[in-house]
């Protein structure tokens, strides 16, 4: 198992501020659209599916499955970049952590873990095998 990498504090802007505030409380939010009904990631004020501004924050389960992954073995501390498809629909770019990287498979079930970031930044959403 690789040592935990240092994670820079994420940039917080007005569009994503509620997400990070919830993350500090251990809650995982995504955005959904009340016009077309679809959820999206990353959080945006305007729905990327139908361009409606009728988006709202929705609690998400934090469960999903690996859509694709690559193990970054040449990094000083190897890590896994992955796309995870959430149970709620959207696919997000993330890291898979706290596991044997070589044993990971496409389609594997994963669950969200919030990882601390540097300074006093909000925790960052990552995933680990479920």
Pick 90 or 122: Cβ nearer Zn ion: 90
Pick 50 or 130: Cβ nearer Zn ion: 50
Nearest distance from residue 121's CB to Zn ion, in Å? 30
What are the residues whose beta carbons fall under 8 Å from the beta carbon of 15, sequence distance 6 or more? 43, 44, 45
Nearest distance from residue 112's CB to Zn ion, in Å? 24
Q: What are phi and psi of 80, to 5 degrees?
A: -115, 120
Pick 33 or 126: Cβ nearer Zn ion: 33
Interface with Zn ion by CB under 5 A: which residues?
Answer: 33, 35-36, 47, 49-50, 52
Mark out the alpha helices in the chain (DSSP H runs).
17-24
Nearest distance from residue 53's CB to Zn ion, in Å? 9
Long-range (24+ apart) CB contacts under 8 A made by 106-109 are: 106/66, 106/67, 106/68, 106/69, 107/65, 107/66, 108/65, 108/66, 109/63, 109/64, 109/65
Residue 119 neighbours by CB distance under 10 Å = 7
Pick 8 or 37: Cβ nearer Zn ion: 37
Q: Which residue has the tokens 């995933």?
A: 127
Nearest distance from residue 10's CB to Zn ion, in Å? 25
């Amino acid at each position: 198992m690789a040592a935990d990498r240092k994670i820079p504090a994420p940039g917080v802007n007005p569009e994503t501020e509620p997400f990070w505030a919830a993350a500090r409380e251990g809650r995982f939010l995504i955005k959904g659209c009340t016009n077309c009904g679809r959820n999206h990631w990353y959080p945006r004020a305007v729905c990327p599916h139908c361009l409606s501004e009728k988006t709202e924050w929705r609690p998400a389960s934090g469960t999903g499955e690996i859509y694709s992954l690559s193990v970054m073995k040449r990094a000083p501390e190897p890590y896994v970049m992955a796309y995870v498809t959430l149970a709620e629909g959207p696919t997000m770019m993330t890291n898979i952590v706290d596991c044997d990287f070589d044993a990971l498979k496409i389609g594997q079930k994963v669950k969200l873990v919030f990882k601390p970031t540097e300074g006093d930044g909000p925790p960052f959403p990552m995933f680990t095998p479920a």
